[in-house]
Amino acid sequence: MNRNLEGKVALVTGAGRGIGRAIALKLAANGARLVINDLDAAPAEEVAGEIRAAGGQAVVCAGSVTAPDFAERFIGTAVQEYKGLDIIVNNAGYTWDTVIQKMTDEQWYAIIDCHLTAPFRILRAAQPIIRKLSKAEAEAGKRVMRKIINISSVAGLFGNAGQVNYSTAKAGIIGVTKTLAKEWGRMNVAVNCVAFGLIKTRLTEAIADGNATANIEGREIKVGVNPDLMAMMEKGIPLGRAGTPEEAAGSVYLFCIPESDYVSGQVLLCSGGLTGI
């Protein structure tokens, strides 16, 4: 395998399951050293163990990305363990849906905090470290490219009924991406965004009874999609099916490799050809 991320330090939030897990494994398989985050320690440790068993390096920084001290702890783990910081993937997230007239302030802020405020805090905490590393490299006559990949959604580009909180947060992270591409270019940082369409994970799998939930920070959040609705959604995708976590991870990987060093401020739609919802 072409290990073109050899020695790079990559941080991935929400990497214990689903898309985040696939991203972490993909980057590790190509030589990156990982900082694995998940809300729950057990799945994070499982992914880290899988990476180590394959001969890679991984450490865990478990906990909620919305915790006030998380960003500093997350970035600090990379610096303490690996003495570097090369790739950040802001992936952690979930949905908590209803129409606007029924949406509570708690629902609104929970999703905004997870998908928008948390990445903002992580990137804010990373800036002084990246600036220091970039300055030292410039003084040594070296140019080292770093990569930020923020995760958005087709909902952030086109809106989606019942998801005003999620759509707003995912639209906002595109604004963060485009702004930091301009602010951080001078530090040799490429900042890009991947907007996912329908990807099959535990949060979107077809569930007949519609009663499945996931406990997220003490809240029982409904997950899963009715099988008939899933079939209808897949029919609307030009490729005729939902994507896999591994396919989603591949789109993130494209922004991490050296071949994309001169690509910044872009939004890549990973949706099987779906261009509106």
Point out the residues that are catalytic. 166
E-assigned strands of the chain? 9-12, 33-36, 58-60, 87-90, 146-153, 189-196, 213-216, 219-222, 267-270
Do residues 93 and 119 touch, judged by C-beta distance below 8 A? no
Encoding tokens for residue 181? 């591409």
- Tokens 């591994």 locate to 246
- CA separation for the pair 168, 162 (Å, rounded): 12
Q: Could you give the CA distance from residue 239 to residue 24 in angstroms, rounded to a whole number? A: 26
Structure tokens at 99: 């129409």
